[in-house]
Amino acid sequence: MNAGVEWAVHCCVDLAITGQDQAVSAARFAARYGLPAAYLNKQLQALVRAGILTSTPGPRGGFRLARRPSKITLLDVIVAIEGADDAFQCTQILKATPGADPSLDYQSYCLVSKAMRAAELVYRRELKAQTIAHLKAAVERRTPNAPTLTRRSLTVD
């Protein structure tokens, strides 16, 4: 999995903490995490294309959440960065075997493919149950001064 997933999730949690009043630029995020700004900006633009963030141009521009943190799941962020494909790609090798039906879609028929898909489904269900709001709340519960430090490093006084 692309390192951009880690960056993107952290940026979303940060934006949930800093709130909607100010936009946060890629440069600010890059400075906070010691990451390459141009590459981080690419990941954030992918979140904009997926409807997770909005982006405003200009000197006080930057990124904001496009919807409430409770409506952004970990799965949304991963799919925005990595695409929606399953990790396991069935290439239908059964089609070449003796007795195979050439008209059959082995991607849905093959029992190996089905078992792999079942596992990916529980993975996705788990990622879908975790939202940016849950993560923000968990951070605030565990480290009460984290929001203040986050705001200080990301927003303009």
Q: Which residues bind a second copy (CB under 8 A)?
A: 1, 3, 5-7, 9-10, 13, 32-35, 74, 87-91, 93-94, 96-99, 111-113, 115-116, 118-120, 122-123, 126-127, 130, 134-135, 138-139, 142, 145-146, 149-150, 152-153
Strand 53-56 to 62-65 pairing: antiparallel
Q: How far is CA 26 from CA 46, 70, 82, 85, 93, in A?
A: 13, 23, 19, 27, 44
Q: What's the min distance (Å) between Cβ of 125 and a second copy?
A: 8
Shortest distance in whole angstroms from residue 8 CB to a second copy: 10
Nearer to a second copy, 13 or 23 (CB): 13
Query: 128: phi > 0 → left, psi -120 to 50 → alpha, else beta; which?
Result: alpha
For residues 49 and 114, which CB has a smaller minimum distance to a second copy in the complex?
114
124: Cβ–Cβ under 8 A, 6 or more apart, which residues?
75
In the complex, least distance from residue 43 CB atom to a second copy, rounded to whole angstroms: 12
Position 59, amino acid: P
d(C-alpha 109, C-alpha 129), whole Å? 29
Q: Which is nearer to a second copy, 62 or 106 (CB)?
A: 106
Shortest Cβ 68–a second copy spacing (Å): 18
Residue with tokens 């294309």: 49
